[in-house]
Amino acid sequence: MAGEVVTCKFCMSAGSVPKADLAAHVQSEHEGALFGCGFCEADDGKFETLRAAADHIRVEHKIKKEAIVNKALRVPYVEFLRSYTCAMCDAQFIGTTEEKLFQVYTIQ
């Protein structure tokens, strides 16, 4: 579907982003919430999950020793390490705090 719009899991305003622009949006707006590769420059090595970052290091940099993989991982700022799933609608939110979650999604 051309022009499909998706919801960014990091945005607390539940704003929608064109699907084609989602990766660039996450990289530019939520960089501090992403896992990173210590071998890559800037945005080339940023990932939404720890597993994706570790897999990237193993495959792209051909690192086999887990100790080296673990040292090469760059973790997000502490406040971004939680994820939430809504019990009512299964919406997922990552890289936010519980306080911000309740400020935006409060039943009125």
Range of the domain at 46: 35-75
Higher-scoring residue by pLDDT: 64, 27:
64
Flag whether 41 is in a domain: yes
Q: Is residue 58 part of a domain?
A: yes
* pLDDT confidence tier of residue 108, bands split at 50, 70 and 90: very low
pTM exceeding 0.75: no
Q: What does the pLDDT read at residue 105?
A: 58
Q: Is residue 95 part of a domain?
A: no
* Mean of the per-residue pLDDT values of the chain: 81
The arithmetic mean of pLDDT across residues 82-89, rounded, is: 76
Closest by alpha carbon to 47, among 17, 65, 71, 26? 26
Average pLDDT of span 58-69:
95
Longest dimension (CA), the chain: 52
